[in-house]
Each structure stands twice: as C-alpha cells, then as structure tokens.
Amino acid sequence: MNVEFTARHFHAPDNLREYAEKEVQRITKFYNRAIQCQVILYRDNNHYTTEINLSVPQRKLNVKETTDNVTKSIDHAVDKMIARVSKIKEKMNKY
C-alpha cells in the first residue's frame, strides 16, 4: 500500500511521520486490497485533526478525527478506518 503523509499548518517531525505510517499499516491486517492511503494532519488552535483517505477497489473511504493530542488523533482515525473497512469486508463476504 502506498502511503502519502501531509502536515498542514505545522511542521511534523520525522518520528511523527513514521508513527502515522506504522499505524496506517494496521489497516492492511484487516483488508489487504488497499491501494493508496493519504494521511493529512491539520493543526488548528491547539487541536489536531487527522484525515485518512483510503483507496480500495471501487471505493474511496474517508475518516476524520479531532483531538487535542496528535497521536490520539491518529490512533482514533485509524481505529475508525479499521471499523469501516471491516464492515465493508463483511458485506462483501455476505454475497
């Protein structure tokens, strides 16, 4: 899976970039057909927003999460994406 990382309105250190990429790789354990993933971090008035855009065959999934801690924001967004991907996988296996 190709992972793109973008930080807006602040400079993200390399360890944060590596952490985000490592966390996003957890999605492939649940759905290995993911093609591309974009991780976008925003900073706005001491709140961090993580947006994850995931491209899978025939779909594009989007998740946003805002917290006051950047790592919590990444973790919650990845957990939301795993839930969405698992739900889609269940629907595909039903038919």
User: From CA 2, how far away is CA 71, in angstroms rounded?
Assistant: 21
Report the alpha-carbon angle 64-69-72, nearest 5: 60
User: From CA 65, how far away is CA 75, in angstroms rounded?
Assistant: 9
Is the predicted pLDDT of residue 93 greater than 90, yes or no?
Answer: no
pLDDT at 27: 94
Mean pLDDT of 11-38: 93
Is the predicted pLDDT of residue 95 greater than 80, yes or no?
Answer: no
pLDDT at 94: 81
Q: Hey, where are the domains in the chain? A: 2-94
2-94: CATH topology is Double Stranded RNA Binding Domain (3.30.160)
pLDDT digits (tens, 9 = 90+) for 31-87: 888 899 999 999 999 899 999 999 998 899 999 999 999 999 999 999 999 999 999
Mean pLDDT of 3-18: 94
